[in-house]
Amino acid sequence: NFKLGKGGEYLGLSKPDGTVADEYNPEYPAQTTDFSYGKSSEDGVAYFRTPTPGAVNNEGFISLLTFDESNMTFIGAEGVLTEQVVLSIENGDEQPYTLNVSSQSASWLQVSQGADANGATSDQINIIADTQGLEPGTYYGVVTAESPNYLAATLQVQIVVRLVADDWVERDLKFDGIGVAVDSENERILFQLGPDEYYTPATFAPTLTYQSGDGYTIGINGEASLTSDITANFGSVTYGDDNTIQLYKDGNEVSDYALVFTPLSVIDMQVEDEIVRSPKTTGLFRVMSTLYDQDSGYYNMGIETRGNSASRLPKLPYDLELSEAPYPSDDINVKLLELRKDDDWILDALYRDETFARNLVCHDVARALQPYAFIDDAGVERGKAAIEGKLTEVVLNHEYLGVFALHEQVDRKLLDLTEVDVPLDEQGIEQWDEVDFSDPKNGSVVYKADSSASLLESDSNSFEQKYPKVDDIRRDEPLEELIDFVTNSGDQEFIDGVEERVDVESVLNFWLMINALDVRDTLYSNYFLARNESGKFFIAPWDCDAALYYGIANSWHPERNHLIERLMELTATGFNTRMKQRWTELRQTIFTHDAILARFEAYSRQVRGGEATSSAITRNLERWPDAGDGNTEFGYLGDLSDRLHNQLGIIDGKIADLPE
């Protein structure tokens, strides 16, 4: 057993007399994914598609074809995008070849030989993407060049057919590889400035790149005709500084926009039709952030409005699903802003929350109390205890939409529950009616609490089934069994059996969090009940935008949740004793007044952009002047510090007075 260095090194086989029977001292050529390189069965060198450990290598491919992407030339025409690229060969003479195309739609992607073509592998290749007649969306294709006995060359091709034409958008302006959002309605361009903080003046000198064809050039702060791939020195800047950016056509200024530096990640969305509650509208989605070193490019999406009372407000929250092809299509899981990898995302409108932070802070606290969702039978911590989100500024169809929180969904994937094993028929279609639910491994479920004042007291109608999907199969039995136990068990039976059915630590953390932050409605309507396989039920919080909002101690109502009520009434469960111990510990760490307030202040600072007059708050209020119920302190913490101080003092007394 031995290994050669990844750069290649000498390998020799010697006879007993010291002479060399065979040797190999390679200089590795260009590498390609899923192919190895080495000695062939014919005593030459080759590329190999199939590994043959313990056996003689096969003949393999003597060399490989390559597209010289570094030599690409872009040529634009009306409705047609053309890339010219040189086809070359490694370690061999020119060879005849054939070209092939595969794509989602056979009509839009074509290839041809260039004007200098001689039918051999030194040719220039024209790759033509014809956008005319295509529906808006992102399209993918592959161009392949093949020659006998040679490893084929492949080139990924991607085009975006946008919904709204705009000269600025067509320039694909980027600073240090991160794009911008174009707000044509207000004649400004938004860029997330970072990753270093610019709350105080600091130097910003990024590399400026853009599509400079058709006579277009860019100017910054009146400095005309900056070429692409040049350092743009802004000097010392802060968030909210006044900068401008100009677009020139054949030397003449055609546009002069404000350049807005924001501490928030920027989202650009485009849709063709009105966004409604259902069905989802087809569109494009892109997120840009230097803070998280991400420019996602345009993903296809389906988007719809969401929420109950929030859906009746002027600024609407959205539910969106990313897909491989124009929606509806197969979903595509992507990682956005260092959140989890997924296809389903929420844009929370934050319309009523003058701090922009209530929901984010509550879920941050929940994860601080317990990072994981549950511990499995093997003792492994699984899933996330609560969602995570990031503040963003959103532009829709080149019009500023406001400050939103992009955050995750509570679902089976977030909680890392074992997936139900569903049989498939001959066509690969799931047969849910054939699932063996007597198998404990098929017991995973997720339910969302609905609006009711008596949850876990009567029946399962107070919950909405989230996993499995109701359209696949109804799974009322696990929830009904839990409700029956909580409601109908005798006192001793409850004391003896509750720990077998419920993760009481999860319930305790949930109860303490909603009381520390006075989250009134989360107690009885905004949480999830979940179970992995046939394990214990646990709680995940949801929608805490009412935290420290309505008044003092509105959250201390154990009678509104029958499970918590019985845990507290029956002192033999030890719940009150554990609560006192846990609360005492947390009041020195996570639940100090300053620690909680610091979480709010961190988000508030982002939307304020330091103390800049041109901030995310200002832009959001210009777009939604009645946001935050017209609170003139919108985006500031106002009297939240006093509310928090009073709330913690009241809960101190409530817990101290509990019987044990």
pLDDT of residue 613: 65
DSSP class of 334: E
pLDDT of residue 162: 66
372 alpha carbon, distance to own chain's centre: 19
- Strand 399-407 to strand 381-382: parallel, antiparallel, or no bridges (unpaired)? unpaired
Residue 97, token pair as written in the block: 């070849």
Cis status, amide bond into 195, omega within 30 of 0: yes
Place of tokens 């192919």: 35
The domains of the chain are located at 64-161, 167-262, 266-413, 414-656
pLDDT of residue 38: 74
pLDDT of residue 419: 97
One CATH from 3.50.50.60, 3.30.1180.20, 3.30.565.10, 2.60.40.10 for 64-161: 2.60.40.10
Q: Of 476, 479, 474, give the one whose Cα is nearest residue 455.
A: 479
DSSP class of 275: -
Largest CA distance in the chain: 94
pLDDT of residue 637: 66
pLDDT of residue 267: 98
Beta bridge mates, 74: 83
| Contact by Cβ (8 Å): 337, 377 | no
Return the SS3 of 239. coil
Q: What is the pTM of this model?
A: 0.81
The counts of H helices and E strands in the chain are: 11, 40
One CATH from 2.60.40, 2.70.170, 1.10.287, 1.10.10 for 167-262: 2.60.40
Q: What is the rounded CA–CA span in Å between residue 520 and residue 502?
A: 23
Cβ contacts of 253 within 8 Å, gap of 6 or more: 219, 224, 246, 247
Amino acid (1-letter code) at residue 118? N
Residue 146, token pair as written in the block: 């093949």
| Contact by Cβ (8 Å): 239, 263 | yes
pLDDT of residue 70: 65
Q: Of 576, 552, 577, give the one whose Cα is nearest residue 642.
A: 552
Q: Of 168, 164, 170, give the one whose Cα is nearest residue 182.
A: 168
pLDDT of residue 242: 85
Q: Which residue blocks in 391-532 are alpha helix, DSSP H?
A: 412-415, 477-488, 491-501, 504-516
- With a cut of 50, list the residues of the chain below it in pLDDT: 453, 632, 634-635
Amino acid (1-letter code) at residue 254? V
Sheet order of strands, 63-77 included: 109-113, 124-130, 80-89, 63-77, 150-151
Beta bridge mates, 140: 158
- 64-161 and 167-262: identical CATH topology: yes
Helix axes 640-656, 504-516, angle to 10 degrees: 130
Query: Per-residue b/e over 195-204, b at no fewer than 16 CB within 10 Å?
Result: eeebbeeeeb
Cβ contacts of 515 within 8 Å, gap of 6 or more: 555, 556, 651, 654
Return the SS3 of 413. helix
Q: What angle do CA 344, 349, 355 make, to 5 degrees?
A: 125
* Other residues' Cβ atoms within 10 Å of the Cβ of residue 32: 16
Residue 49, token pair as written in the block: 């598609």
| Contact by Cβ (8 Å): 275, 287 | no
Amino acid (1-letter code) at residue 59? E
